[in-house]
Each structure stands twice: as C-alpha cells, then as structure tokens.
C-alpha cells in the first residue's frame, strides 16, 4: 500500500518487513458537531447519508451522478437526510445529482471549509464515496463507508478502517490509473464499465435501512 511505502521512507536501514503503521483517527467534539449541524441545518435526530461524488484525479474515478441520485432518492424516501460533500469543483456534479434526485439532497459542496466538512462527515450514519480525499476522511472518522473503486486500486490506497467496505468489479482492464477511461468512447456502452457496472441496487443493499 502507498502508506506502507511512505512509512518505509523513515527506515534508516534495509527494509526486510512490510512496515507497520497506525490507522488514521479523527475525533470531532460534540460541541463542534452541534455547531455545524446548526449552521448547515442538519437534523441530528434523523439519519444522514453522506455522498462524496467528486474525485480530484478525474472522471475515471467517479461513479455516475445518476447512480448517486438513485441512491439519494431511495434513502430520502426511507426517511434519511442526504448530504452531498465536496469542494467548489464538485459543484456541477452535485447539482446534477440533486436535480436528478428531485432536489432531495443538502448540497454542501463549496460551502464548507475543510474543518466544517470533517465535522459534517462526523454526523453521518453512512458514507458512499469515490476513491478520494473525503473517502479517507470518512475512514479516519471510522464511519460505515462504501468506497467505490474504478481506475484506481484498493491494493494501493484503500480506506484504512474496519468499517469500510471496498466496492470494485476487478475487471481485467482495471486498475488502469487513467484520468479518463482509455478503452472506449463516451457513447460506447462499455465506457467506464469498471464503475457503471456497479449498480445503485447493489449499493442500496449494503446500506442500512
């Protein structure tokens, strides 16, 4: 794993064993969680599903927005709050998800600083995320997490939490580590199959009711 490679850099001698490392651990105080809940109108008495649809690296790491929207619709119908997390760069995909879902989501993209995003994620009961920085934040918060992997490899950059579950189709063409699917044109049904092949129904069966 990448974290083991970095840990190995601290060695002063020959590396004979895979380096051990502590799992990241983030703690947010009750006071801070209450403050962000009030600021962003999150009901702390209602379950919150956090969706993290962005991926700085590129679209080959992004689960389709319409799939996120389907998950949001179902969970909202079950009485959950749904939050969209990300930076200002993720605003277009968040808006696409919210529009497709019937505007059932709280769109936090571009509205928070990093500390607020961490605190809001600390309020979540479950998280669905692409392989991204927010995925690792959710893992460090020890949140129940479904981590979606397409062009990248969970062998290198997995979420480091016992509560995280990696979702990957392990296709023969993956991981390609490309920013954009290199095999097919966007109008081809096989385009980005490593992620489009993960259906919303599969994710919904893994989320609590």
* Interval 65-112: pLDDT, tens: 999 999 999 999 999 999 999 999 999 999 999 999 999 999 999 999
Q: Structure tokens of 192?
A: 């980005």
Structural domain boundaries, residue 99? 28-202
Whether residue 15 is predicted with pLDDT greater than 80 in this model: the reply is no
Residue 184 above 80 pLDDT? no
The CA distances from residue 31 to 64, 102, 139, 200, in Å, are 35, 32, 21, 35
Phi, psi of 11 (to 5 degrees): -70, 140
pLDDT tens digits along 161-181: 999 999 999 999 999 999 999
* Mean pLDDT, residues 126-138 taken together: 97
Q: What is the pLDDT of residue 133?
A: 95
**3-class SS string, 33-70:** HHHHHHHCCCCCCCCEEEEECCCCCCHHHCCCHHHHHH
Q: At a CB cut-off of 8 Å and minimum separation 6, what does 204 contact?
A: 71, 74, 75
Rounded Cα distance, 64 and 141, in Å: 25
Mean per-residue pLDDT, 148-172: 95
Residue 175 lies in a domain: yes
CB neighbour class for 47 (10 Å; exposed up to 12, middle 13-18, buried from 19): middle
Q: Would you state the pLDDT for residue 187?
A: 74
Checking if the pLDDT of 60 tops 80, the result is yes
In the chain, the largest separation of any two C-alpha atoms, in whole Å, equals 58
**CA pair distance 52, 203, nearest whole angstrom:** 14
Q: CA-to-CA distance for 129 and 136, rounded, in angstroms?
A: 9
The strand pair at 145-148 and 164-167 is best described as: parallel
Is the residue at 38 inside a domain?
A: yes
- Per-residue pLDDT, 189: 75
High-pLDDT (> 70) share of the chain, % = 100
Residue 156 lies in a domain: yes
Q: Establish if 2 belongs to a structural domain.
A: no
Residue 5 lies in a domain: no
104 within domain boundaries: yes
Q: How many domains in the chain?
A: 1
Distance between CA atoms of residues 121 and 143, nearest Å: 8
Averaged pLDDT score across all residues of the chain? 94
49: CATH? 3.40.50.2000
> Can you tell me which residue has the tokens 């809001």?
120
Quick one: which of 75, 71, 28 has its CA closest to 53? Answer: 71
User: Does residue 33 fall inside a structural domain?
Assistant: yes
Does some domain include residue 67?
A: yes
């Amino acid at each position: 794993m990448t974290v083991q490679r970095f840990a190995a850099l601290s060695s002063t001698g020959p590396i004979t064993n895979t380096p051990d490392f502590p799992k990241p651990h983030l703690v947010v105080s009750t006071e801070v969680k209450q403050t962000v809940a009030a600021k962003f109108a999150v009901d702390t008495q209602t379950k919150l599903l956090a969706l993290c649809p962005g991926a700085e690296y590129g679209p080959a790491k992004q689960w389709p927005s319409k799939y996120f929207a389907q998950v949001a619709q179902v969970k909202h119908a079950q009485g959950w709050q749904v939050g969209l997390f990300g930076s200002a760069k993720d605003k277009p995909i968040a808006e696409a998800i919210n529009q497709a879902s019937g505007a059932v989501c709280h769109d936090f993209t571009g509205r928070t600083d990093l500390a607020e995003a961490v605190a809001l994620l600390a309020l979540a009961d479950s998280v669905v995320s692409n392989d991204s920085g927010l995925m690792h934040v959710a893992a460090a918060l020890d949140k129940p997490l479904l981590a979606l992997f397409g062009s990248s490899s969970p062998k290198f950059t997995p979420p480091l939490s016992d509560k995280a579950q990696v979702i990957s189709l392990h296709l023969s063409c993956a991981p390609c580590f490309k920013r954009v699917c290199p095999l097919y044109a966007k109008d081809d049904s096989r385009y980005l199959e490593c992620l489009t092949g993960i259906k919303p129904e599969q994710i919904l069966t893994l989320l609590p009711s």
